[in-house]
């Protein structure tokens, strides 16, 4: 009797130990993981029923079943459903709209996602998730039209475009040049009206098309052509001889001051300064200009034609296609993107128009440079300065001294590089120095557009 009792206790003990071991195995084994699948899909998004919806399902143990349902009121349509023979840890789906009849007019629908993983948890049934997502249906394109624009534009020049864009779910609207260069729209005069000064970048050889593009939150897109004639521009080519002394004393110094490594070969030094660093500097100008330009509503634009540096000779023209020669061999070429004016050393530099200083720093080939924002996406650039009298964020007045000319950056001598920027793109300053050009291409267009808007 005593032996039977002892045997029973041993069996019970073994059973308890086995149960504990089994329990630990169930709770700790990856086979019995308890986390339900994760569904990667955004809630409260807009859908035009044309584009595909991207949906992701993931689980550490692998998905063995999923189903996606489109629900409109009480009506349910299965968009996708699958039982997987081999569980997958990550599933990415591109969902198409279901076939809907002509009477479908719902503005709100639901996407219901059900997924089960391959875990042995839940009595071998696996973990299950059912997520519901809400979608807003929008199949209407934004209403977009061109109200007024400059008659023509030439390579390296500027033009004004005023448009109307209307959509209750508007996401983005802008002007494109050749579908390459984007120009942001600025609110104009009244609600739903916008304007942008645009440019034909000198680096883009051919004019193809200028478009107004409007996109809503459902990715419905309207594209409207802006009617612009083109003006020819005369070629302006020049040859510049680069000496060893210039590379050693100027190019090397500019690279070092910009924190760049200096190559051993003299030609490579110049190429790194004139091509690689130049491109980075131009990109920096566009980045700063677009980031800090004033985007407040515009009703008018009272701009004084920019004035040249007092008592200065023109040392370099905008749009010169410069070829650089070293030891008789052409090693590089670049566009000159402003006007160079040379006067006495350290000549005073005055503003023409009021504005806000958005940049004042060393900028590689441009040396010490200042950028002033005048609103409407228009800015002025003053480069190679020796000293400055302004700080970033400062509001400057008309005819205020801001700096002195100098020889900082990649230059042969003391002068001012003056540039006009349209959303960071350097354009021909001569247009913006011409009173008649500003009137016929900018201010008259603004007046005409306001008359059209007021008549509606």
State the pLDDT at residue 30: 56
State the pLDDT at residue 18: 54
Which domains does the chain carry? 30-137 (2.60.40.10), 143-233+444-454 (2.60.40.10), 237-423 (2.70.70.10)
State the pLDDT at residue 17: 55
Cα separation of the two ends of the chain: 108
State the pLDDT at residue 123: 64
State the pLDDT at residue 74: 78
State the pLDDT at residue 191: 96
pLDDT digits (tens, 9 = 90+) for 279-330: 999 999 999 999 999 999 999 999 999 999 999 999 999 988 999 999 999 9
- Low-confidence stretches of the chain (pLDDT < 50) are 21-22, 24-26, 28-29
């Amino acid at each position: 009797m005593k032996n039977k009792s002892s045997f029973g206790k041993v069996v019970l003990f073994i059973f308890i130990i086995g149960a504990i071991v089994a329990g630990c195995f169930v709770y700790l084994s990856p086979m019995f993981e308890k986390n339900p699948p994760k569904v990667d899909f955004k809630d409260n998004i807009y859908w035009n029923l044309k584009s595909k919806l991207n949906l992701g399902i993931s689980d550490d143990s692998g998905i063995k079943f999923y189903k996606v349902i489109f629900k409109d009121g009480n009506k349910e349509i299965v968009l996708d459903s699958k039982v997987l023979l081999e569980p997958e840890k990550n599933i990415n789906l591109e969902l198409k709209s279901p076939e809907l009849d002509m009477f479908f007019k719902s503005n709100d629908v639901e996407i219901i996602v059900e997924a089960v993983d391959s875990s042995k948890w839940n009595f071998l049934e696996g973990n299950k998730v059912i997520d519901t997502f809400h979608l807003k249906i929008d199949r209407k394109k934004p209403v977009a039209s061109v109200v007024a624009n400059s008659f023509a534009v030439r390579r390296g020049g500027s033009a004004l475009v005023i448009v109307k864009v209307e959509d209750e779910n508007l996401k983005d609207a802008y002007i494109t040049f050749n579908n390459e260069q984007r120009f942001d729209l600025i609110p104009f005069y009244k609600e739903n009206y916008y304007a942008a000064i645009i440019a034909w970048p000198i680096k883009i050889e051919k004019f193809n098309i200028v478009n107004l593009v409007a996109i809503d939150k459902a990715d419905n897109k309207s594209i409207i052509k802006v009617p612009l004639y083109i003006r020819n521009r005369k070629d302006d080519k020049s040859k510049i001889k680069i000496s060893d002394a210039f590379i050693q004393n100027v190019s090397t110094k500019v690279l070092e001051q910009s924190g760049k490594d200096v190559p051993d070969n003299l030609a490579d030094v110049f190429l790194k300064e004139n091509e690689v660093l130049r491109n980075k500097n131009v990109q920096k100008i566009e980045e700063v200009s677009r980031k800090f330009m004033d985007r407040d509503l515009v009703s008018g634009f009272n701009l004084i034609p920019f004035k040249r540096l007092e008592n200065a000779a023109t040392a370099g023209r905008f749009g010169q296609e410069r070829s650089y020669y070293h030891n008789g061999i052409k090693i590089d070429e670049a566009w000159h993107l402003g006007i160079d004016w040379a006067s006495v050393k350290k000549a005073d530099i005055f503003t023409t128009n009021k504005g806000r200083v958005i940049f004042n720093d060393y900028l590689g080939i441009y040396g010490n440079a200042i950028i002033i924002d005048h609103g409407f996406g228009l800015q002025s650039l003053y480069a190679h300065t020796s000293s400055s009298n302004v700080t970033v964020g400062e509001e400057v007045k008309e005819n205020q001294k801001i700096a002195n000319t100098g020889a900082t950056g990649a230059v042969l001598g003391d002068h001012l590089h003056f540039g006009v920027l349209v959303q960071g793109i350097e354009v021909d300053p001569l247009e913006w120095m011409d009173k008649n050009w500003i009137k016929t291409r900018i201010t008259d267009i603004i007046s005409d557009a306001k008359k059209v808007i007021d008549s509606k």
